[in-house]
Structure 1
Amino acid sequence: MLRVVLADDEAAVRAGVRMILSADPDVEVVAEAADGRALIESVCAHRPDVALVDIRMPRLDGLTATAELRSVAPATAVLIMTTFGSDAYIARALGDGAAGFLLKTGDPREFALGVRAVAGGGAYLSPAVAARVIRELTGGHLARTVAARDRVTALTQRERDVLALIGLGLSNAEIARRLHLAEGSVKTYTSTILGRLGVANRVQAAVIAHDAALVPRE
């Protein structure tokens, strides 16, 4: 039996979602909460498999509660539900550790599907939300990463090493010390890198270094 804590500040919404979930014999709503603070208390008390959480709630909003739940109840998967499907909400919810995101205005069957998916250690996105994420991945950061990695294939390994340190904002002298090179050699490498990447300055080269994930963590 999958145990769920349901949190929404509207009693009618909670009743509707509970009714939808009750149609699944393998899902049980063990507690309800009308605000974010009560949600955290309920999760700590009942240790459910899933917390089904609305974004907009008093005392503590659903996104802030999600981040806190990751610390106090890491075994409970958080599934966000909302009528707001903005990209900012989606990004923050997933960034705060939510395992899924569904829209209240979507297919009611998504509630049980989502609960089952995240309870099993997976992820779940409503189709409308998934479409937005895919568009971001194909037209946003992922696309930039792929393009940047294609560009740096024109560089030698030593040139990539120099580019990575340019990405850290190091000067030629600092790069020379790091790589045990003469400063004049670093200047030559830098000039070659800018030409091969087709960029005008070190700042543009540094952006490519970051997009290509070449920059080491300090």
Structure 2
Amino acid sequence: MKKIVERHPDIYVAKPAKIGFFAQQQENLNESKTVLENILEDSPYNQAFIRTLLSRLAFKGNDVHKQVSLLSGGERVRASLAKVFLGNYNVLVLDEPTNYLDIQTKEALSEVLKAYPGTIVFVTHDRSLIQSLATHSLSFEDEPPRVYAINQKSTKSATLKDGHQDKQAELLMIEVQIIETLGKLSSVMKEEEKEELDREYREYLQLLKKKKELED
């Protein structure tokens, strides 16, 4: 995984790729700062959206103000994942992201990752995460290594619970797109581009409203 992050000469990485890396050692966290402070350091998202996502990962209320040095093992994993997800990246590289997480938090993480608008490359032994998130697998059993498509329809069970998770992931994805569009609106100078982004923003708001009404 580090070869990708460090842009090893044996691996081609497109120049526009901005890579966020989650390591099992949680090396991206500043021990002396709180969970919220760590994420605010380099996140393009506003605090309201950051706290919404942290809440989904079980950092509710004042939990976001916990100092990293005082977090449990599971809390550190969740904080590190949130920092990567909410960073200014368009490609996420994740090394065993569900280690040390309980079942409920794994499900929440799966919803969050499915809402990510960029590319995710991950290594895991967690079959449920593969089934809910992966679209392709890279096999090193062949020479040279090969990429295989994964049939999502055959791996997903048609239970009510799965349907609920899919709806939650879709709502979160729309929320992410709204925040991204607002960010672009604040920096665009050309009037035509502003009008186009404003149209997209209003469409996303309408879609989010309809989805939430159906959810209720």
Same fold at TM > 0.5: no
| TM-score, normalised via structure 1 length | 0.30
| TM-score, normalised via structure 2 length | 0.31
The structure, 1 or 2, with the larger RCO (C-alpha pairs under 8 Å, 6+ apart) is 2
